Structure 1
């Protein structure tokens, strides 16, 4: 073990001087211990886009997708994904979700999904917001794939992109920053 690793309590230092918090002194991955951190109010907002053909967008707007209500189903999928993030991302903590908001912006050739997650706890909720976005958009794709698929079974006009954390916030429970 290097002097840097010993000085940091076993965490590995990387070139920019920061430390790898999910790796122990032997290189094994580990969950970060957040037990000593105070509970805080936390909020994260993530957003992503699914690009679709205009005819598919029209069918979503007119409730003409054979599988059912696309946005209602995607909303349920997004919320479920938020609640189960800790089960799919290995080093995520199971956190108490206090609120999930989903907002769909249906445009001429795309659907933009924004997911806002709130929690009170010792760690943030941005991974939960990202999971909500990616799953919600995947549900949209699943619901509309028959309309998007070409005769050869391909999806040349369909793609998910620009998935990112828009904002994350943390504030003390008593309201002080």
Structure 2
């Protein structure tokens, strides 16, 4: 069955947008941040509904603070190279950090759903962890395909990226 040309054009546009460095960086960082934070927040086994709502709140606050910190660091770094972005440019730099929040949002929704009783509260951290590892695989695959590598290479690198994500998340959870 042939694909409509406008759909093909839309998919190409989405693929290009997803392969932008700030989107890739923010997506990976947000997924690792969300997994690490959920692991740290639930390490003591408190899984009641009220605690899951609290976890979702802290995840969103931490993701927003991280996005602001990255944007702020970019603004300072750009000053160092002599550019003067002005207020509008600085706001644009801050807004370019939206992928960190977007990548943390599915985990926040999972925690909110557990807190609101949509699904079981106990064990939702494992579902979030699995989702975020799959997301890290997808980001690795996307970046590799955008670089023009073959599907086989992209799948291998995506798996390696997911494994590296597991290592980083576990290390972060142990540190916190």
Query: Whose helix proportion is higher, 1 or 2?
Result: 2
Query: Whose strand proportion is higher, 1 or 2?
Result: 1
TM-score, normalised to structure 2, is 0.29
Bigger Cα Rg? 1
